[in-house]
Amino acid sequence: MATLRVNVILFGIGNVGSTLLSQVIESQKFFLEKRNIDLRFPIITNSSLAFFEKDGIKNKWEADFSQSAIPFKIEDIIEYVQEQEYENLIVVDATASSEILKSYIPLIQNGFNIVAANKKVNTLHLDFYKELRKKLKEFDKTFLYETNVGAGLPVVQTINDLYYSGEKITKIRGVFSGSLSYIFNRFSTESVLFSKILLDAEKIGLTEPDSREDLSGNDVARKLLILARELELDLEFSDINISSLLTPELNETHSKSQYSVNKSLLDRPFQIAKITQADNHVLRYVGELDVLKKQLEVKLISVPKNSPLGQLKGADNLIEIYTKSYREIPIVIQGAGAGREVTARGVLADVLKLAEKIKLKEAVWL
């Protein structure tokens, strides 16, 4: 069987993007031998610069980028791949940028498939969400985003498989944030101040650069909305009832420096919540989608210590999927829901899935 060359245009060389490149370099021989897939990165970009591969130059990508990257516009990338007559095009969006989202439709119209770690695109206004999918169908392109929920865990795919097999999903509930999982798993079992655990989570890189983004509940809400839309529920971000973990003195209206020195204001309310719950219960910050009522909630709850949610450890995610066939016993997906390695591996899995789809199409044409 002929080897399929897949041209990956990578946007973003931060934690996830750079780890993805390392994983591909490490496994390139394996993909060639086992799957007849040759993954190439002819264009690599950060927020403002792009490196365009030149034939015959085979250095490390970091050296190539630092020596030869130039300012770019999306039009430059489209023009370059057309000039080079590159086929089997996949854009990987490993950014958290809102700017790149405007380019998704032009990229699809010019022959690109898309794999996104960036979850913002799937939480934009419903009109854009539907228009994007209309264009994918019109131009026969694919958009995969498994890492939008649960990093490398197969959450989106499982929900998709259940839904399109005719299963009636009634409820989805879970801990969707690795940082908040870590914080409440420790807070439930240790006699340590909430603010101290929060600082630890920041130090080991589990939270966003400004941890208010985690504590606000917005990140969990986005993931919940993505899953609701997978079930074809016409819901907007504004439809989600979010109970923020931030106190009025520490919310987004205050400066980051004010927040940094006043984190101890979080200690008293969480200590009260901890000591006033029922015996053998622990606190968990969950997202919950009631499919039948079309209700989405993000909130702090108290659960039995011996329940699946109550037994969580580390920074694991745990998602419960309740369906008509499985009745009151949910399908449980659990594992590492954060981290550059698992997220990059999830992106890579999507890229390889897309490559296999392209290979299948080519076989049909032949």
Bin 280: left if φ > 0, else alpha if -120 < ψ < 50, else beta. Answer: left
Beta bridge partners of 240: 296
CA distance readout (Å), 243 to 5, 218, 248, 310, 357: 48, 10, 12, 20, 41
Distance of CA 308 to CAs 36, 133, 171, 179, 287, Å? 41, 35, 16, 18, 15
Asked if 305 and 281 touch (Cβ cutoff 8 Å), the reply is: yes
Q: Under a CB-based contact definition with an 8 Å cutoff, are residues 219 and 148 in contact?
A: no
Say how many CA atoms lie within 13 Å of 125 toward its Cβ.
4
Contacts with 160 (C-beta within 8 Å, 6 or more apart), sequence order: 230
DSSP strand pairing (89-93 vs 4-11): parallel
295 CA to centre of own chain: 22
| Residue 261 φ/ψ region, left for φ over 0, alpha for ψ in the -120 to 50 degree band, beta for the rest | alpha
Q: What residues contact 19, with CB distance under 8 A and at least 6 apart?
A: 340, 341, 343, 344
Residues with catalytic roles: 223
Phi then psi for residue 289, to 5 deg, are -115, 115
Please, how many CA atoms are within 13 Å of residue 256, restricted to the half-sphere of its CB?
6
